[in-house]
Amino acid sequence: MPLHDDKLMKRAVLDRSQTSFHPCGTARLSKSIKQGVVDPNLKVHGIKNLRVIDASVIPVIPDCRIQNSVYMVGEKGADAVKRDHVDLYK
Give the residue numbers marked as catalytic: 22
HEC assignment per residue over 1-50: CCCCCHHHHHHHHHHHCCCCCCCCCCCCECCCCCCCCECCCCEECCCCCC
